[in-house]
Chain A
């Protein structure tokens, strides 16, 4: 009977440069089934959409059936939730403007919501994670790039053009390091993955002091953090400098936005106290006086892999239900 016929599941899709993860998620954020594949296997976007649609149908048919799915939410870099398109993504194989939401809806016959990954991370934290119950907060994503999204009065602030939150490209050192964006002294060039490795190389070049980092096959934020765990002083100094810069950036962000909390996510946040302690100290000494001691710095409680499919599933609920098969 129609009175009992409510669709209680959605599909969340997280497209990243390396892999695409898709999952069936229920109302309370329980992941019922999940799978993934390599994004780079499909350099042609038409083939990508065909493959993704087929894989979603297979997963859904094996787990309760297509008619139990309400809608689809998709997280992707460079996505615009206004147009439903991927727009000139620098790191994805598909160039130009790709109307991904419309393409997927045509194949799947279900409503599709699309938003960019920073927005989705924040939505995931707001719905199921550390920002639950908060109205004003900032999510910082620390990885290869340094991104952010902020919620104002319970809603994400996207800005006039949809580019709000480009935290990684705020200037922290006038005439500083060269950044991939063409400017100098961007925060990302100090606290992004490349920036951390650069700081490590600079420190090693400055002195002959012994450090475990000299023996590393591959210098990366993760291996440097492992050296910190072993008590390596120079590695600790690398993260101290990184945290110092991050603290300045976060203090300026907080002074402008006045958030309840700043939530750190992404691979580099896994360095834990090595980055957070110096960042907090620097934050407190640079933030506007009235905010000192009042802004909570939090490490996300959500698993990195889960956050974005959960966020994408939360997005799926925000689009009006639509089905070809009614």
Chain B
């Protein structure tokens, strides 16, 4: 039937991280039809990276229903700028300066490409398919791979700020003259609540002389400290108590300013479960403005860690106007 047009019911979501790039073919309802990944670090030259990514996307798509069913592509990247479609001066990526990744990929693939930074995409994923579904005002806080980032949704839209840097809660000061942060300042929330902060707190506690199984441990991580909490190790429990206390202070200040309906917590740190969450909530309620005490929901994301950002990138893909060289 020629007069009836057909819609394309699939998009490609790409999640670029320092170590790994994951890409997936996703349908309208967020079902991942096929997914694959490769090492980002294998391609120190961005042209080679774009060539490889394009080829791999085409291969995945051709093996799973064909190219003509794909509407568009969405990309999540650290230091991604939604307005320009570029990765801009990424601190931890191999490609320096301003990289117009969306335009480069569009040229290779012949499809519309949208790009946004990873915090923004994480929140989009939660909004479309996760814990923020149906919410208009919320914050998604992500604690993983060394950092603590966030994205704010206000009245159903991401709040990016004038320069696109809104949400840097990890670099809010929670302790005057506190721990040294990688950003050059002292006492940032990230220095207490990221996995680096966790290691530092364990070191401090051990220096106080408490006996602990953590003392002989080579690899201090969220996973191992949680394991020893379950074993009843007092230093391990105290570590997460302090971490939770600081996180509660940071989130309480955040909530007092924004008054969100919910704060959704994501990232590897959430593996700590109740050891972190109980002290965090206690501290949150102690420090938050009294009129919103007990009125802000603190939630752990229902999405799987490996899926959230490709799903968010797929939701982003639906935001761009359809465009195809092959029509």
Which A residues contact B (CB, under 8 angstroms)? Answer: 1-6, 8, 27-30, 70, 128-130, 132-133, 261, 272-273, 276-277, 279-281, 296-299, 301, 317-318, 321
Beta-carbon nearest neighbor of B265 in chain A: A3
| Residues in A whose Cβ lies below 8 Å from that of B7 | 130, 132, 261, 296, 298, 301
9 closest A-B pairs by CB: A280-B3, A317-B134, A133-B318, A296-B5, A28-B29, A273-B1, A3-B300, A132-B28, A27-B133
Contact B4 A299 (CB under 8 A): yes
| Those of B125-151 within 8 Å (CB) of chain A | 129-131, 133-134
- Interface residue B319 (Cβ < 8 Å from any Cβ of A): yes
A133 touching B5 in the complex, CB below 8 Å, given contacts A1-B274, A3-B299: no
What chain A residues lie within 8 Å of B129 (beta carbons)?
A: 27-28
Write the chain A residue with the least CB distance to B264. Answer: A6
Known contacts A2-B298, A130-B7, A133-B319; A317 and B1 CB within 8 A of each other: no
List chain A residues, Cβ under 8 A from B189. none
Which of A281, A297, A318 is in CB contact (< 8 Å) with B134?
A: A318
Contact call A276/B302, Cβ cutoff below 8 A: no
Contact with A along B2-28 (1 / 0, CB 8 A): 111111010000000000000000001
Known A28-B30, A29-B29, A281-B3; further 9 A-B contacts with Cβ < 8 A: A1-B274, A3-B277, A128-B28, A128-B29, A133-B322, A276-B3, A277-B2, A280-B3, A298-B7
Minimum CB distance partner of B303 in chain A:
A27
**Across the interface, do B133 and A317 meet the contact criterion of CB distance under 8 Å?**
yes
Give me 18 A-to-B residue pairs in the complex whose CB atoms sit less than 8 angstroms apart, sorted by A's number.
A2-B297, A3-B277, A3-B298, A27-B133, A28-B29, A29-B29, A70-B134, A128-B29, A132-B7, A133-B71, A133-B319, A133-B322, A277-B2, A280-B3, A301-B7, A301-B9, A317-B133, A321-B134
Chain A CB within 8 A of B281 CB: yes
Q: How far is the CA of A133 from the CA of B6 in the complex (A)?
A: 14
CB distance from A312 to the nearest CB of B (A): 14
Give CA–CA (A318, B136) in the complex, Å.
9
A4 to B154 CA separation, bound complex (whole angstroms): 23
> Given the complex, which residues of B lie within 8 Å of A2, measured CB to CB?
281, 297-298
Nearest chain B CB to A207 CB, angstrom units:
28
Query: In the complex, what residue of chain B is closest to A321 when comparing beta carbons?
Result: B134
From known contacts A28-B29, A133-B319, A317-B134, infer whether A3 and B3 are also in contact, taking CB-CB under 8 Å. no
The CA-CA distance from A3 to B71 in the complex, in Å, is 36
In this assembly, does B31 line the interface, its C-beta being within 8 Å of a C-beta of chain A? yes
Instruction: Pick the most buried of B28, B30, B299: most chain A CB atoms within 10 A of its CB.
Output: B28
A8 touches B4 (CB 8 A): no
Q: A2-B298, A4-B300, A28-B30 are in contact. Are A132 and B318 (CB under 8 A)?
A: yes
Q: A1-B277, A261-B5, A280-B3 are in contact. Are A30 and B299 (CB under 8 A)?
A: no
Give the Cβ gap from A225 to chain B, nearest Cβ, in Å: 14
How far is A297 from B3 in the complex, measured between Cα atoms in Å? 7
B-side contacts of A280, CB under 8 Å? 3-4
Chain A residues closer than 8 Å to B6, beta-carbon distance: 298
Q: Are A8 and B302 in contact (CB under 8 A)?
A: yes
- Cβ of B76 to closest chain A Cβ, rounded Å: 18
Q: In the complex the two chains form, is B299's CB within 8 Å of A6's CB?
A: yes
- Min distance, Cβ B97 to any Cβ of chain A, angstroms: 32
Which residues of B lie under 8 Å from residue A29 when comparing CB positions?
Answer: 29
Q: Residues of B contacting A318 with CB < 8 Å?
A: 134
Whole-angstrom distance between the Cβ of B114 and the nearest chain A Cβ: 11
Q: Using known A-B contacts A273-B1, A277-B3, A297-B5, determine if residue A6 contacts B131 with beta carbons closer than 8 Å.
A: yes
Q: Closest Cβ of chain A: how far from B135's Cβ, in Å?
A: 9
Tell me the complex Cα distance, A272–B71, Å.
Answer: 24
B182 to chain A, nearest CB (A): 28
For B297, give the chain A residue with the smallest CB separation.
Answer: A2
